[in-house]
Amino acid sequence: MSLSRFQALDTILNRSGFELEYVDVPDPKISNFFGCNVFNDKAMKEYMTEEAFSNVKLAIESGAKLSREDADVVADAMKRWAMDHGATHYTHWFQPLTGRTAEKHDSFFTLRPDGEVVEEFTGDTLVQQEPDGSSFPGGGLRSTFEARGYTAWDPSSPAFILEVGEGKTLCIPTIFVTYGGDSLDYKLPLLKSQSYLEQAAIPVCQLFDEQVSKVWVTLGWEQEYFLVDEALFNARPDLLLTGRTLLGKHSPKGQQLDDHYFGSIPERVYAYMRDLETECHKLGIPVRTRHNEVGPGQYELAPMFEEVNLAVDHNQLLMDLMDRVARRHKLRVLLHEKPFAGVNGSGKHNNWSMSTNTGSNLLSPGKKPGSNLRFLTFFVNTIQAVYKHADILRASVASASNDHRLGANEAPPAIISVFIGETLTKVLDSIENGATLDEAGVKEVIDLLNKIPNLELDNTDRNRTSPFAFTGNKFEIRMVGSTMNCAAPMTVMNTIVGHQLELFNTELKELMEKGQDRNAAILTILRRY
């Protein structure tokens, strides 16, 4: 960017006299309006019979199929709830291979043959719709003239109301498939991979805890982005057409001094952030963190961790909200991975872990990771999966825009290195050499001053240059691009770890059938890995 203009960016975002626009917050206490536009458990209980609610919850939690009779009940309840909230239309909201979301709106209004005007929404309409499948990328699955595609309701992700100006639309998260059932989206492969990993992980979990009957993946994404003044954006044809600068000078004020990172948030940006957070909270997106990022005009927001399918849906919805809210504030959001030369690009760090129905995080080492055999089993198998399939994981985040960003200090991905920290390196070295360290990894404490509480150190330092770093109780996949659908790398992670756990379980059974003790057999396999 011609950084006589870029140099003025901070001034523009901070300048006094600009008419700031603040959203009307429904209530200063977030818990009082969080999820108010979501057809969640509270809404379902209010608008549905107890039996229908139980059937829906069973479908969500155990994967049981919902009958068309129950679908009719759900559809009627969903329509009444949506109309009570001012919605006039509905849409099947899906995630085609474009990387963004898609929607086709239909009105609840319909005319019956006798001329009567009614608002109608049936179970058949809820469960299935038919967009044109040939108009979206298909990866060469079929010929162009084979146009039929289907969207099918995903009960595990709640419906929500999207407000655009004065209009309100009921959005129903769905998968998108061809006439032959092949996936045309990101959601169906993600759901399949989650199910595959769960089936592979449960038998391994039950080696340590027979009460485990469910395993799910948790994801916490971090969304980085740039904000620029709308007038400056419109003055740059390259930004308008490509989302990044193609001509211009390097910024005279770069990021060498790191003065922007965690700095005071400009008032105009703060107004935007508050507005965006309010819209997110109304839609049940649990964003908690906001701050200045390293690059001038760069910022970040992050939510609480959620089940991976819901987390992906929320991130896709967020990117749409970011753009809408920015325009409201006469700003533009740049989600391109590398919009400016010489300035840090934007990523979307994916924090991946596994949890059980018993409340355990399978990647939590505890204070003594050297004697935590369950943790070591899932930890080493995850690393082994990435070691074997690093090429596929790398391919899942490859794009023309993201490859501009990757390298140097921004998660170099040409080789997928795994950072685990000094403590866990010692633990694995000890296992490899034929022993365990029962006391290894006990958290260290730093005593700084009498008046300052002691610091309890984590078992690993943070590593911002590793594309795949262990960060305490999760793996942080730092190489995902800021524009990307998180489902792509998450699908790969679920699949390769599920496959690796199957191989591990087979090897373990073989050793135990030969008479080896379970724990000794596990250590034998981990040592070889």
Q: pLDDT tens-digit profile of 116-135?
A: 888 899 999 999 988 877 78
Average pLDDT, the chain: 87
Q: For the segment 159-204, what is each residue's pLDDT rounded down to a tens digit?
A: 999 999 889 999 999 999 988 888 999 999 999 999 999 999 999 9
Cα–Cα distance for residue pair 17/175, rounded to 1 Å: 47
For residue 459, pLDDT beyond 60: no
**pLDDT, position 248:** 85
Looking at this protein, which amino acid is placed at residue 269? V
Check if the beta carbon of residue 419 is closer than 8 Å to that of residue 462. no
Tokens found for residue 65: 């199929």
Contact 43, 79 (CB under 8 A): no
Q: What is the mean pLDDT of residues 476-491?
A: 95
Of residues 256 and 205, the one with the higher pLDDT is 205
Residue 14 reports pLDDT greater than 90: no
Write phi, then psi, for 108 (nearest 5 degrees). -65, -25
* DSSP summary character for residue 411: -
Q: What is the pLDDT of residues 206-221, one digit of tens each?
A: 999 999 999 999 999 9
More confident residue, 382 or 371: 382
pLDDT category, 2, cuts 50, 70, 90? very low
Query: Burial of 318 by CB count in 10 Å (0-12 exposed, 13-18 middle, 19+ buried)?
Result: buried
- Residue 518 predicted with pLDDT over 80: yes
Tell me what pLDDT residue 502 has: 98
Residues in CB range of 39: below 8 A, 6 or more apart: 78, 81, 82, 158, 159, 160
3-class secondary structure, 507: helix
Residues 234-276: tens digit of each pLDDT: 999 999 999 999 988 877 766 766 677 778 888 999 999 999 9
Instruction: Answer for the pair 465, 407: CB distance below 8 angstroms, yes or no.
Output: no
Inter-residue contact 457 to 444 (CB < 8 Å): yes
Q: What tokens does 453 get? A: 């509480």
- Give the separation between CA 493 and CA 21, rounded to whole angstroms: 41
Phi, psi of 254 (to 5 degrees): -90, -135
Average pLDDT of the segment spanning 458-484? 83
Distance between CA atoms of residues 508 and 520, nearest Å = 10
Confidence of residue 139 (pLDDT cuts 50, 70, 90): confident
Locate tokens 């080696």: which residue?
A: 207
Predicted pLDDT at 3: 40
DSSP designation for 259: -
Which pLDDT belongs to residue 137? 84
**pLDDT confidence band for 310 (50 / 70 / 90):** very high
DSSP secondary structure letter of residue 169 = E
- pLDDT at res. 7: 46
Using pLDDT thresholds of 50, 70 and 90, give the confidence band for residue 309.
very high
Report the Cα–Cα distance between both ends of the chain, in Å, rounded. 49
Report the percentage of the chain scoring pLDDT > 70.
87
What domains appear along the chain, each with residue ranges and CATH number?
38-84+96-184 (no CATH), 195-528 (3.30.590.10)
Question: In what helix (H) or strand (E) does residue 521 lie, and over which residues does it extend?
Answer: helix 518-528
Contacts of 292 (CB under 8 A, 6+ apart): 260, 261, 262, 263, 264, 265, 298, 299
Q: What is the DSSP string of 61-79?
A: HH-PPPPHHHHHHHHHHHH
> Rounded to an integer, what distance in angstroms lies between the CA atom of residue 170 and that of residue 166?
14
For residue 444, pLDDT beyond 60: no
Q: What is the pLDDT of residues 141-153, one digit of tens each?
A: 777 777 788 999 9
pLDDT of residue 437: 55
pLDDT at position 116 is: 84
Residue 475 has pLDDT above 90, yes or no: yes
Render pLDDT for 52-99 as a digit per residue (tens, 0 to 9).
898 888 887 777 777 888 889 999 999 999 999 999 999 999 999 998
When mean pLDDT is compared over 70-74, 261-265, 307-311, 450-454, the highest value belongs to 307-311
CB 266 within 8 A of CB 14: yes
Q: How far apart are CA 312 and CA 190, in angstroms?
A: 9
SS3 string, 383-397, reads: HHHHHHCHHHHHHCC
- Cα(408)–Cα(438) distance, rounded to whole angstroms? 38
- Compute φ and ψ for 230, nearest 5 degrees: -60, -35
The pLDDT value given to residue 20: 56
